[in-house]
A and B are shown apart, each in its own frame.
Chain A
Amino acid sequence: MSTALIRTTGLTKRYPGGVTALDGLTVEIGEGVVGLVGANGAGKSTLIKILLGLLPQTDGNATVLDLDTATQGARIRELVGYMPEHDCLPPDVSATEFVSHMARVSGLPAGAARERTADVLRHVGLYEERYRQIGGYSTGMKQRVKLAQALVHDPRILFADEPTNGLDPAGRDEMLGLIERIGRDFGITTIVASHLLGEIERIATWLVAIDAGRLLRTAPLASFTERTGQLLVETDDDAAPLAERLAAGGFTASADGRLAIIELADAPGDEHAVYDAVRDAAVAMDVALVRIEHRRHQLEDLFRDGTDDRAA
């Protein structure tokens, strides 16, 4: 993350009525596919709308492509694309007409708008059906049109708010694949807001996690799921006796249902000694092992209240 495309400092948004959607958010976002994760109501959509210059912040400031959202919103909106979360398509026009109109509203001349509409609809996978009225489209096709209108003017940054909303599993896979391609192959930095960590995990290169309007963590995706330094041993029965036996052998081990958890850092000897000890204990106690693996941080851990798993 060398150059930040988006910067916010102490960004705060309080709605009339006292709801605080963003609470002193300070974050820098660079290139790539950036996952903006948080539970529903965490402030993801509010953040996107402020970055688009659609919503004034209560306090703090934000820049997109070094342009101030409060004063240079129109210039920003020329250079970014926005795929909203909700339905936003008129039913009585064709995808071609609609996307090409939106291209012109983005400032493209008529000829360029037509050309890019054809290109972009092909990229999102709409072919012959693009001449039919949008009202007759499936949810998946509508999501593609929403994506196409956000891409048609070749933005520098694409904001996609819950792009897999309402899609079936196959549709989700296709939409995520498309977004990954846009970020990686098209070179358009894509900010994907989602409450589904599993989806973000698959395509994002960088993660910004927010909760109750505050920044929880921002880091490359890999660091969210790094090894914890614990070995997980799953057995086909209660793992407590196994853990006790290992503890008796000098290991720091505990049991959680059918899982035995062994701290590798405290173990006498190297990792192979631990594996040997587990094998010997299992043989001696006639316990069947299901799997042995390094425990990794789960994205879900981010949102667990208070407790830090690494300390466990």
Chain B
Amino acid sequence: MTAPPDAASGTIYDIGYRHYTGPRLGRRGAITAVIGSALRAAFGLGRSGRSKIIPWGAVILAVLPAFVAIAVRVLAGEILEVTTYETYLWDIGSLLPIFLAAQAPELVVNDIRHHVLPLYFSRPMSRLDYVGAKLAALSLAMLALTLAPVLLLFAGKVLAAQDVVGALGDEIGSLPGIVGNGVMHAVVLAAIGLAISCLAGRRAYAAGAVLALFLIGGVIGAILSEVGGTLADIAPFTNPLTILDGAREWLFGGSAPESPVGVSNVPLPIYGLATLLMLALSSAILFVRYRRITA
């Protein structure tokens, strides 16, 4: 087993330019690549430790109630209900805007600000493909907050029970609501976050605008709710999270005690309509914004 003399001396040859003859995955490959890199960006992967703090902090805080609920259940049985499937997202409510405000701009602002888009559009993907891929990626990322913790709570409730099969039978009915509500929150919030971000010139402005929408909307909603009367009726519509909570209640039932939805007399289907409107408006903003960007 003697190595050839060239290998032993470690000579490096300039082999010149090599053509690529392997597979080309075309549009599908392009979309997959954008989704993959956007998902990494949403969780700060491959970036500095500092950019991981908010997304992972939010994810950890979001699953915490599920762990506490499971622990309480194991220790105290069914006497004390810490959180429910229905109220979970309302309880961790403020984490959703924080994650969204921090991560949505990461996905879109730099590509616009630094004129990277022509490089994407001169590849086998359309503008719509690009926007769709970003929306899909951020929606998937949001599921880490809107679906994963509730699923964890579900799994905990089932596995902590004495009779696992029986508990599964009891709880399985909640699963469509858990998944449906998680997906609805994730997609609508992702669309709102991206629509605001694509209009902002810098990531910080985008983050501020997203936070402002939810925080100011939330504060106004709480005040209107206290005032009562007609104002309390419209109170839920000042904050996307309350609208989503109303839509959840309409679709899957069960009310969150502190939500302004309970105080309002507006029929529940209106919340569903408002949710669709938010999604439509956000999509329209994204569509128009990206069509206008000159390549």
Contacts and interface: CB of A to CB of B under 8 A. Distances in A.
Contact of B115 (A52, A88, A105): A88
B121 interface: yes
A143 to B, nearest CB: 14
B228 interface: no
B30 interface: yes
A204 B279 CA distance: 52
Nearest to A97: B46
Interface in A156-213: 185-187
A289 B18 CA distance: 53
B198 to A, nearest CB: 16
A112 to B, nearest CB: 5
B37 to A, nearest CB: 6
B125 A105 contact: yes
Interface string A81-117: 0101011111110000100011011111100100010
A105 B18 contact: no
A65 B115 CA distance: 28
Given A54-B295, A97-B46, A101-B33, A123 B17 contact: yes
A84 B115 CA distance: 10
B34 interface: yes
B3 to A, nearest CB: 24
Interface string A132-158: 000000000000000001000110000
Nearest to A113: B33
Interface string B8-49: 000000001111101111110110111011000000001100
Chain A at the B interface: mostly helix, strand, loop or mixed? loop
B122 interface: yes
Interface string B111-126: 1001110111111111
A92 B122 contact: no
A258 interface: no
Contact of A82 (B22, B118, B126): B118
B31 to A, nearest CB: 9
A107 B120 CA distance: 11
A49 interface: yes
Interface of B: 16-20, 22-27, 29-30, 32-34, 36-37, 46-47, 110-111, 114-116, 118-126, 295
Interface of A: 49, 52, 54-55, 74-75, 77-78, 80, 82, 84, 86-92, 97, 101-102, 104-109, 112, 116, 119, 123, 149, 153-154, 185-187
28 contacts: A74-B26, A75-B26, A78-B123, A78-B124, A84-B118, A84-B122, A86-B115, A88-B115, A90-B110, A90-B116, A92-B47, A101-B37, A104-B32, A105-B34, A105-B123, A106-B30, A106-B124, A107-B25, A107-B123, A108-B22, A109-B22, A109-B29, A116-B20, A149-B119, A153-B24, A154-B19, A185-B17, A186-B17
